[in-house]
Amino acid sequence: MMMVSVRFLGAARTVTGSKFHVSAGDMDLMVDCGMFQGLKSLREENWKPLPVAVPKLKHILLTHGHLDHIGYLPRMLRQGFKGSILGTAPSLAIAEIILRDSAEIHEEEAEKANKEGYSKHHPALPFFTQEEAEAVVKLFRTVPLDEWQELGKEISIKWSYNGHIIGATHITIRIGGKHFVFSGDLGRMDDLLLRDPEKPRWADYLLLESTYGDRMHPEEDIENLLISLINRTIEERGTLLIPSFAVERLQLLMLILWKLYDKNRIPGIPIFVDSPMGVDVLQVFREFPSWYKIPEADFRAMFRHMTLVSSYRDTWRTIDDPRPKIVVAGSGMITGGRILTYLTKTLDKSNTTVLLVGYQAEGTRGRKLLEGAKSLRIFGKDYRVEADVVHLESLSAHADQPELLDWLSDIRNIPERVFLIHGEEPAMEVLKTKIEDRYGWSVSIPSQDETVTLI
């Protein structure tokens, strides 16, 4: 039996930066390659080279296309990576969109910071460039669902449906008969857009996400809450701003808002979708209809009912539009994107409502708003918060504690080790106790840069 070790290079006692180095004999792999978001101390880690022999890596396996799982890929090329990047077809399509969009944002923000002089770095540099993003895409290789792929002697890999976002999977690495399961990010049960996550049947070693390991998503009446916020927005002639992740959340919001209108539960208030990346993602949905549950007729109706904003000039036209309106714009944790421009013009108005619709990582602007911040720093300036801030947790794309526990229920063996990843420490501690109490399994919480020898 060859020696196998896993090094936790990200998402260890934190939610972002998923990166796991797997060494199996003479084969070196990585599962996910994400960038850190949120706290400054974490973001600074993004600029450091990985403490592994990157040129030796033969493959990077992607669970899905979110930035905190793929955003470090361009930096790998600088460090000598020349292998292949493997994922499902929709995951790679999403990753391509996100990398290109992020590169453009990085370059624009660096240029703006240098022009206006608000960066401490001289000059401010983009985290990666559009040229580097294009080079990464050339290394993409598509894999099918639920079929073992042989990567080397006694090493095979399988990708299995996960919900969460289109293309998302959990990954099983089979090495000499042992199954190493990497959960990726698990989706919700009974999601409006996506099917339920598939459950693993065997796991000798399991790395399990724990984002909501300490809580249940509340039983919220989403439709009535939205109706109330929309009616108030109309009465006050204000703006309902919804920062949204471009993948899954934006499409889900479009579906809910359109259905409310279609059922005559809200009036025809203008709805602007200002996320070029989100619009590109809609095309991915059109290309891969077997991955989700929306009928084609509903898809077409959503498009007809909403205004898709593409150019930055149209962003300003939308801001200047005096009508009460709904604006759905990226990004979901207010870390960048078009939502920042809207906030600079509306955050100090009492007839603005900011609706947060997903997890807000520690250190992000979204988390600060959630915690009652009186001002928000955007583009080097502080903006007073007079807007009403509302949080809608049940639209999260992450499984909650009962769903995480249920996902383990079909595993027929007793795993030798379970490692909790992709969560903040309080959530991990609670989930650890729950798994130990229910299943009697051995559960560990690894630290950043910890290496564990498993065989």
Q: Is 308 exposed, middle or buried (0-12, 13-18, 19+ CB in 10 A)?
A: middle
Pairing of strands 84-87, 59-61: parallel
Sign of the dihedral defined by the CA atoms of residues 420, 68, 372, 231, in that order: negative
As a whole number, mean pLDDT of residues 64-73 equals 97
Looking up tokens 């996320």 gives 275
Tell me what the mean pLDDT of segment 174-201 comes to. 95
Question: Could you say which architecture CATH assigns to the domain 4-215+397-453?
Answer: 4-Layer Sandwich (3.60)
Query: ∠ CA(16), CA(20), CA(24), 5° rounding?
Result: 175
Asked if domains 4-215+397-453 and 222-395 share a fold, the reply is no
User: Span 47-63, mean pLDDT?
Assistant: 97
Q: Which of 23-32, 88-97, 144-153, 329-338 has the lowest mean pLDDT?
A: 329-338
Between the alpha carbon of residue 118 and those of residues 25, 283, 335, 345, 373, the distances in Å are 48, 37, 17, 19, 21
pLDDT of residue 396: 85
**Alpha-carbon Rg for the chain in angstroms:** 22
User: What average pLDDT score do residues 13-32 get?
Assistant: 96
Q: What is the pLDDT of residue 439?
A: 98
Q: What is the DSSP letter of 176?
A: T
- Per-residue CA distances from 428 to 406, 418, 420 (Å): 16, 12, 6
pLDDT tens for each residue of 262-303: 999 999 999 999 988 888 998 999 899 999 988 888 888 888
Answer with the residue of higher pLDDT: 229 or 395. 229
Element (H, E) at 419: strand 417-421
Tokens (6 digits) for 314: 């149209």
Measured in degrees and rounded to the nearest 5, phi and psi for residue 39 equal -60, 140
Contact status, residue 399 vs residue 212, Cβ threshold 8 Å:
yes
Residue type, 234: I
Q: Kindly state the average pLDDT of the residues 103-121.
A: 82
The CA–CA distances, whole Å, from 61 to 35, 182, 320 equal 15, 10, 45
What does the alpha-carbon distance between residue 30 and residue 27 come to, in Å, rounded to a whole number?
10
On the question of a cis peptide bond just before residue 123, with omega within 30 degrees of 0, the verdict is yes
DSSP per-residue letters across 121-149: SSS---SS-HHHHHHHHTTEEE--TT--E
pLDDT digit string, tens, across residues 317-328: 999 999 999 999
CATH code: domain 222-395 is 3.40.50.10890
CA dihedral defined by 88, 94, 98, 100, rounded to 10 degrees? 90
User: What are the domain boundaries of the chain?
Assistant: 4-215+397-453, 222-395
Does 114 score more than 90 pLDDT? no
Question: Looking at the predicted structure, is the pLDDT value of residue 409 above 80?
Answer: yes
pLDDT score of 172: 98
Is residue 93 scored above 80 in pLDDT? yes
Per-residue CA distances from 445 to 14, 204, 427 (Å): 11, 17, 11
Predicted local confidence at residue 169, as pLDDT: 98
Residue 192, SS3?
coil
User: Is the pLDDT assigned to residue 82 strictly greater than 90?
Assistant: yes
pLDDT band at 111 (very low <50, low <70, confident <90, very high): confident
Which pLDDT belongs to residue 282?
87
* Least confident span in 102-111, 184-193, 257-266, 434-443: 102-111
**Total-model pTM:** 0.89
CB 94 within 8 A of CB 281: yes
- Indicate whether 369 pLDDT > 80: yes
Cα 175 from Cα 156, distance rounded (Å): 7
Per the prediction, the chain carries an average pLDDT of 94
- Which pLDDT score, from 0 to 100, does residue 420 have? 98
Per the rule left: phi > 0, alpha: psi between -120 and 50, beta: everything else, 289 is alpha
